[in-house]
Chains A and B, each alone.
Chain A
């Protein structure tokens, strides 16, 4: 088995440009999906704590559905399934505006949002009820107590789990390549088929993914340290 490595392709600007576009695509996808995931996580967590049984049931169903179906299937369902159900005008608009990207980030964001909502829920449940009591005794409404006292503490507790899922969300952007979104893995396969320098390009994008994942994990640790509740 002889592999002759030729990394010269990385000095060629058009390939660098391609890889750059892919990397940018990955980062954009990750950022959008993350924003959606966090929004859903807070929404679902709030719904689960509401007094309405209907709200709770909807939230629980959302979480169960997204956690028990593979992310790839979610993406397919959005890109192939939901897209076909949309009215023609909307379909045209979406197709003209990078539909692979849109459906991919929706699928990833909603799915990981379910996991993050469970993290948040665990964090909220870990805050002793005496904190809520003390807030209510001071005259804070339930919403004020939740916003100013419970949630800030719950976020700190759930941080490690949420960071874990953030790294997972970032890695899972690679699944978008299956529907043709231009991100790092898609570009990797493109370059491979164009240059046949499989090992080199695989190595390069693996290093990039690994580097960014580790960066995210490190960044998460920094944040955890910053917001840590001070004890003696």
Chain B
């Protein structure tokens, strides 16, 4: 049951849209007829049991995973078009990985300014200034010359968010950003994400953090076995999930 409710924007177009999207890994049907949209400024939380295809879905938006059927649009661009300048396009899409994937041989500041300098052709001085401001924004100004190996997981992930923000993307995708963190560090990362949401950033987050969903999400998408089963507001989803699978998922989540 797919519900596509746009949040209407200034020009009426959604930021991200999936239409009839299918993906197979060999025989395995990883994404099954996904139809949904993310409006400008919307925060979407995608959840579901493992293997449900939520990570796969989010990775199709910047073509880290290809699709075999359907259309995906991001900020008005056809993601699957063969004419797309993939590098230019990806520099436009913010992505935060589960395992942060910072570049260990570069300092924190160098990590953040690498893409603006290399891809956008920005001058190093101005890139560095912006990097330092972004570090302030995520609360890590004091770590500007540190190396990733010297930081905790939570700090690394915040740097990763700053790195994504450095490209001024219209939207950021989060692939289980706190799943690899020790529990006491989850909060500091979620705080940065919540601040971003409040500032109006369009966000699509795959996460198990249900409190985050309750606080800032506009919609919750529930996926299972490659199908987008439900799309509700957080209140509806947590109190009154429409499908039995969603019920079971929420029960499992609560019981541990």
Contacts and interface: CB of A to CB of B under 8 A. Distances in A.
Whether the complex brings A and B within 8 Å at their CB atoms is answered yes
A222 interface: no
B119 interface: yes
Interface residues of A, number: 21
A9 interface: no
B147 A230 contact: yes
B99 A138 contact: no
Interface in A130-175: 130-131, 133-141, 144, 148-149, 152-153, 156
Q: How large is the interface on B (under 10, 10 to 19, 20 to 34, 35 or more residues)?
A: 20 to 34
A133 B104 contact: no
B97 interface: yes
A232 B150 contact: yes
Contact of A230 (B62, B91, B97, B149): B149
Given A133-B97, A231-B149, A138 B105 contact: no
A1 interface: no
Contacts of A3: none
A137 B64 contact: yes
Interface SS, A side: helix
Nearest to A129: B101
Contact of B150 (A131, A134, A230): A230
B64 A138 contact: no
A229 interface: yes
A144 to B, nearest CB: 6
B158 interface: no
B115 interface: yes
Contacts of A134: 97, 101-103
A152 B101 CA distance: 15
B104 A232 contact: no
30 contacts: A130-B99, A131-B101, A131-B103, A133-B101, A134-B101, A134-B102, A134-B103, A136-B64, A136-B90, A137-B62, A137-B64, A137-B97, A138-B90, A138-B95, A138-B115, A139-B87, A139-B88, A139-B89, A139-B115, A144-B118, A152-B105, A153-B103, A153-B104, A156-B105, A229-B147, A229-B149, A230-B147, A230-B149, A231-B147, A231-B150
Interface of A: 130-131, 133-141, 144, 148-149, 152-153, 156, 229-232
